[in-house]
Amino acid sequence: MVSLRLRELRDSLGFSQKKMGDLLNIAQTTYANYESGKANIPDELKIKLLNKLKLNINWLLSGYGNMFIDEVYPESNPIFKTPSGKSFPVTADSAIYSVPILASKVSAGNGQEWLPSDYSGETLPTLEKFFLGYPKDDIFAAKVVGDSMIGIDLLPGDYVYACHGRIEGNGLYVLTLDNETYVKRLEIDKIDRKIRIISENDHYPDKVVDPERVIILGKVIGWLHRTPY
């Protein structure tokens, strides 16, 4: 839980709750409510933890990786990646935008049941420059499960980012197939009205399906990568 990792962070620093409150410019009682789980940690506080302590936000939200950015994501090993291979390191002065997280995880494997409620109510603090050229209000994030996309370093535990409603020919997409949610590479054949669904793992065969079975939720613009080492 996020509240328990917040306590773990404070213990690792050797801070009292009052000292953490002072660092974050909030009252000790307010901080104590976040740490006990009585109140949800707002995005503004997550951003302060990133800027003031270089906290690894992916660790805070998911428990993956090390606690601090400098320990896990040095300049040569950044966390934000695009399908073209471009990467974006995080620095203490990086501008941050909070992206809503899809309620359903996206499968890079055998699929996850689609949840009718679009978003979970949680957000993921993300570099603003990562979305340059895209309307920020149309961006959503979703947590990845399964291993069918490991050929492009899209691993279980990563968060994928997509632009809602954007369809631009072949490429990586978040989609539903028969009410199960996936992140896959698509080849769209408009003439024969077929869609080829492609994995980046030889253990998963391609699927060719009718477009009526597919709902494209958005085109993938990148992902938050959890390093396995």
Q: What is the CATH number of the domain that holds 34?
A: 1.10.260.40
Are 92 and 132 in the same domain? yes
Q: Which tokens in the block code for residue 84? A: 């073209």
Portion of the chain with pLDDT greater than 90, in percent: 31
- Quick one: DSSP state of residue 94? -
Last residue within a domain, chosen from 71, 95, 113: 71
Portion of the chain with pLDDT greater than 70, in percent: 83
Distance between CA atoms of residues 28 and 46, nearest Å: 16
Question: One-letter amino acid identity for 148?
Answer: S
Rounded to the nearest integer, the mean pLDDT of the chain is 82
Are 101 and 51 in the same domain? no
Q: Which residue has the tokens 């109140």?
A: 39
Q: What is the pTM of this model?
A: 0.61
Are 152 and 80 in the same domain? yes
pLDDT at residue 36, as a whole number? 92
Q: Which residues contact 42 (CB under 8 A, 6 or more apart)?
A: none
Are 10 and 60 in the same domain? yes
| Structural domain range at position 142 | 73-229
Question: One-letter amino acid identity for 166?
Answer: R
Give me the number of domains the chain comprises: 2
pLDDT tens-digit map of 53-76: 878 777 787 776 678 765 433 433
